Amino acid sequence: MPTPPLRLLPTTGLSADELTAAFAGALDGAYVLAPLPPDPVEEAAVRRMLVAAEAPGAVPADVALIVSTSGSTGAPKGVMLSATAIRAGAAATDARLGGPGEWSLALGPHYVAGAMVVCRALLAGEALHLVPPHLAGIAAATTRPGARHYLSVVPTQLARLRQDGAGLAALAGFDTILLGGAAVDVEVLAGLRARGLRLVTTYGMSETSGGCVYDGRPLDGVTVRADPADGRLAITGPVLFSGYLGRPELTAEVVRAEPGGHRSLLTGDRGEVAADGTVRVLGRLDDVVISGGLNVDLAAVQAASRRALGTTDLVAVGVPDPVWGTRVVVVTSRRTSLAGLREALAGELAHHALPRGLGRLDVLPTTSSGKIDRRAVIAAWGSMDEEQV
């Protein structure tokens, strides 16, 4: 079966109907859809990556969608998703949330989280509502009386509304708000739920058609395992991607054949899986850095620092250092002192894990998907206001 032609989709300025129609054609097999990011630099990088689709056999015949990674750690990869995987993810979400419903799109449809919002509404035959990324003026009103109404956001979007009573009241009107893309502080999450927001935390990635674990429980058909040696998480299920565009060697590194013709995805994350299948994600495998000859878990440093300073506008990273090899530093927009932060963390972190640097930026850089851009933070370390020990 020949591969359908590639259709590049600039996503800026499209109406809900235009977005829905474009994705419908892809799911029906008329073409392979590649949504483009609105940022011109990102768009140029994605266009270069998509040149590989022109090679014979580069795109399997079942692929409906090619979504790009954020590129925050290098050149973007093209993640190829089949219509079967997309449909499986959408159906499993409907089953977990209590049935299909209308969706509000507050995320860019060029990334998997936004693309899946479009697909869920489309496959359910329900309305798609476009709302601004900053969520201003958002409302939970539906076009069909009695319809359920869902929203998907990243933590950065909610953080900006924490002091906006009217905004939080509007969000409380949604039947469910999926919250993914980054870890969320448990106290912040509890506070938002106390304000009436029906939040469901999600874990997943482009390679799993977006979120495939909701509030720690894998969606129907999805299985998650943790390697007993290093905690690396592996995911099996019908939502898995078809491969990386033009990167068969990279695909082979993370996809494993399983008994019965199934496949598993080796993620870059580490975690724990309880006997009942509940998943707890601990952080990235590469979050563990060696500083002064000792292992330091950056995810643990970041979580503890966020609790100590009462802000999610903070990131812990490792920067090159001639003495320590890798210096563990915290970067935040909050005005504080390194000595004060180290003192606050002394009872929670081992001495060797205490941050040895503190940097301040008025605004932390983010990718267009709303995640803190760790690569940009590391690159900016030497030019920001900083303290070191």
Among 86-100, 174-188, 239-253, which stretch is predicted with the lowest mean pLDDT? 174-188
Mean pLDDT of 207-233: 96
Q: Could you give the domains of the chain?
A: 6-281 (3.40.50.12780), 292-388 (3.30.300.30)
Query: Quick one: how many helices (H) and strands (E) in the chain?
Result: 11, 23
User: What's the pLDDT band for 343 if we cut at 50, 70, 90?
Assistant: very high
**Interatomic CA distance for residues 41 and 217, integer angstroms:** 37
pLDDT at 71: 43
User: What's the pLDDT band for 369 if we cut at 50, 70, 90?
Assistant: low
pLDDT, tens digit, 9 for 90 and up, residues 28-83: 999 999 999 998 888 998 999 999 999 999 999 999 999 998 644 457 899 999 99
Question: Which residue has tokens 């054609």?
Answer: 25
**Interatomic CA distance for residues 62 and 78, integer angstroms:** 15
pLDDT > 70? residue 1: no
pLDDT > 90? residue 247: yes
Longest dimension (CA), the chain: 64
Better-scored residue on pLDDT, 182 or 71: 182
Among 158-172, 207-221, 232-246, which stretch is predicted with the lowest mean pLDDT? 158-172
Mean pLDDT (the chain) is 92
Phi-psi region of 215 (alpha: psi -120 to 50; beta: other; left: phi over 0): left
Contact 116, 109 (CB under 8 A): no
pLDDT at 317: 96
pLDDT at 159: 77
pTM above 0.75, yes or no: yes
What's the burial of 124, exposed, middle or buried (CB within 10 Å: 0-12/13-18/19+)? buried
User: What's the pLDDT band for 314 if we cut at 50, 70, 90?
Assistant: very high
